[in-house]
Homo-oligomer: A and B are copies of this chain.
């Protein structure tokens, strides 16, 4: 990934990553991004869902959305994605931290006009949020497509920042009678709640079952880390 002063990590550079694979894996793991743009010196930060393909992020919404209206003019933009993994509880207040994965991406957006490309971008956003869902549901009508604006944000530069592992305390503090360690904070999907307006007898779809399965393996991994830590 291209790096200049705006994307180079200044603080704790050992936590920085600039490789495309790391950056993409974080972008693919989060549900929400925060998009930044400036209007008359006033910065705005707006949460939005998104999807990714190669080094493009896709954003969508109503043509009346301020975020889309401003970004489509091609102003400099910044999109950040952050996943909190755990609280890191040290023996001193000073060394408390969080385990997290974040990406800050810089670039410009432009509107997608072509109907086929627009539909494909919407599919990418939908598949990002819940893989397999797009083919389970009614596709957008021509009218719905017209009522939706889709932007393509080109990532020109990006950096990732990642912290993992246990607290790092001052040498002298390890003797303190203070519990220290990690409190994992995963997002854990719960049993789906069917819409009361649904016809009877429609089972939970494959898309939802896959997502629940994927998250359950992540939690099992966490739990086994946990039991390893307890044994050690």
Contact = CB atoms under 8 A, between A and B. Distances in A.
Contacts of A6: 39, 42, 44
A130 interface: yes
Interface stretch (A14-22, A51-59, A204-212): A204-212
Nearest to A102: B47
Nearest to A82: B47
A45 B104 contact: yes
A87 interface: yes
B34 A66 contact: no
Interface string A190-225: 111111111100111100100100000001001101
Given A80-B46, A144-B94, A177 B199 contact: yes
12 contacts: A6-B39, A49-B98, A93-B123, A93-B133, A179-B194, A180-B195, A180-B198, A183-B189, A183-B190, A183-B208, A191-B223, A193-B225
